[in-house]
Amino acid sequence: MLNSIWVSFGSSGVFQNIWFVAAVWMGLALAASLISIWAGISVALIEILVGVLAGNFLHLTASNEWINFLALLGSGVLTFLAGAEIDPRSLKTNLRASALIGVISFAAPFVLVWLFAQFVLGWELHQAQIAGIALSTTSVAVVYAVMVEGGFSDTAMGKMILAACFITDFGTVLALGGLFANYNLWLLGFVVTMCVVLWFMPRWTKSIIVRLGATRVSEPEVKFIFFVLFFLGGLATSAKSEAVLPAYLVGLVVAGVFLRDKTLVHRMRSIAFATFTPFYFIKAGLYVSLPALWPALAIVAGLLLLKMLTKIAGVWPLARLHYMRPREAAYTTLLMATGLTFGTISALFGFQNRIIDQRQYTILVTVVILSALVPTLFAQKFFQPTKDAMHAWGRLYRRRLGILSLEDSEEINGAIEQVEQKPSSQERD
């Protein structure tokens, strides 16, 4: 009944009106937010589920170019913010844990899924490589959204997980570029330009904030960030790369500046979560075709299980090795098993370049979407640690390694100030 009413509305030309189309998408985003608040589940996951239902039962499509652009912008801004949340000093402090977890989180599923697709499923070499790359990823977008909603992005453990996500996805980008990139002048120009921009970006951003202020209504610093993201995104796509890669790196290099100006981060985060990211996550759900899923259900289940098992076998022991309790280790492992942004990008790259066919693309994208839903749902419902526990892990990790971080210095200085204040108060008495 609802489906027929929806189809009749569409055939009447109502959904040819850009304002009605925008109202439908934002209405779905609003519904996802309300369900998320009621269920206590990350809004990113609910938006993906809403996209699956809207695509399969309401026949919603992302046929408008402006929707596709907003979805791309959502993934880019979200990836930029994820990089900007990584405190360079915390990254240096937790480098061993982040690097080891990030590398094994990429390498184990990449190799084993590649071999499984080639020798068990019978896919050709390059098709199997695309499968390995697509299912080796960890979703920075999903993990960052979960961290922000839970208030974990400023904890030591939260920053370590985000840094590990970056390393995993950086391995994915290197594998995709190394195996399939077009080595031409566009790629050379993109790499050189990106290196120059990354080198000067902290200085430029700080200069704009200091000289123009961070409280002007015209928001010049936000516009400057968007200008750089758009420009590097254009170079990246011209070089047959992806716009989310420079976005993450730009966020990483300006993280130190953002650390001193949290207002700018909060502004961009509000803009992203309210306007851009709903289009990205809902559109991601539209890729899941339930009718096409049933005939290949066994393959989808097998690939999803293989990804989960390789992530667990690789990440869990390393998490325990780095002094995490079973609950925190399980939470970290499940978040590292998520996939979305680079997974769908890798699958789409293979499909657009005729490396994989429509059936293989549907299988891979379905597995990627499910890997964003299943592990995150289990992590939040059964293994989510408290904020104090995530801070406590950071203190334990640094103490075991004999590292003194900025957080420790602040705690020590605060304790010294309290001790110094006691004698003065006693003298007054």
Which helix (H) or strand (E) segment holds residue 27: the answer is helix 18-39
**Rounded distance between C-alpha atoms, residue 38 and residue 335, angstroms:** 22
CB 312 within 8 A of CB 107: no
Q: Which of 76-80, 99-103, 222-226 has the highest mean pLDDT?
A: 99-103
Determine the pLDDT at residue 308.
94
Residue 109 identity: P
Mean of pLDDT values over 92-106: 88
In Å, the largest CA–CA distance within the chain is: 84
Burial class (CB in 10 A: 0-12, 13-18, 19+), 26: middle
Mean of pLDDT values over 43-52: 83
Over residues 231-269, the pLDDT tens digits come to: 998 888 888 777 777 887 888 888 878 777 677 777 788
Nearest residue to 340 via CA among 374, 384, 309, 310: 374
Mean of pLDDT values over 268-294: 82
Over residues 114-168, the pLDDT tens digits come to: 999 999 999 999 999 999 999 998 887 788 888 887 888 788 888 889 889 888 9
**pLDDT above 60 for 5:** no
Residue 108 or residue 342, greater confidence: 108
Determine the pLDDT at residue 413.
45
Over residues 385-395, the pLDDT tens digits come to: 988 888 888 88
Q: Residue 294 corresponds to which tokens in the numbers above?
A: 């049933």
Over residues 314-357, the pLDDT tens digits come to: 999 999 998 899 999 999 999 999 987 778 778 877 886 788 88
Confidence of residue 289 (pLDDT cuts 50, 70, 90): confident
**Rounded distance between C-alpha atoms, residue 368 and residue 340, angstroms:** 6
Determine the pLDDT at residue 8.
52
Determine the pLDDT at residue 419.
44
**pLDDT above 70 for 43:** yes
CB 278 within 8 A of CB 25: yes
CB 103 within 8 A of CB 136: no
Which helix (H) or strand (E) segment holds residue 365: the answer is helix 358-382
**Rounded distance between C-alpha atoms, residue 335 and residue 229, angstroms:** 26
Q: Residue 417 corresponds to which tokens in the numbers above?
A: 């100030």
Mean of pLDDT values over 23-44: 86
**Rounded distance between C-alpha atoms, residue 265 and residue 225, angstroms:** 11
Quickly list DSSP for 194-230: HHHHHHHHHHHHHHHHHHH-S--TT-HHHHHHHHHHH
What count of residues does the chain have? 429
Nearest residue to 121 via CA among 303, 297, 288: 303
Q: Residue 413 corresponds to which tokens in the numbers above?
A: 């200085």
Mean of pLDDT values over 85-93: 72
Nearest residue to 80 via CA among 250, 203, 222: 250
Q: Which domains does the chain have, with CATH numbers?
A: 65-385 (1.20.1530.20)
Determine the pLDDT at residue 398.
80
Confidence of residue 7 (pLDDT cuts 50, 70, 90): low
Confidence of residue 222 (pLDDT cuts 50, 70, 90): confident
**pLDDT above 70 for 213:** no
Output the average pLDDT for the chain.
Answer: 82
How many CB atoms within 10 Å of residue 309?
14
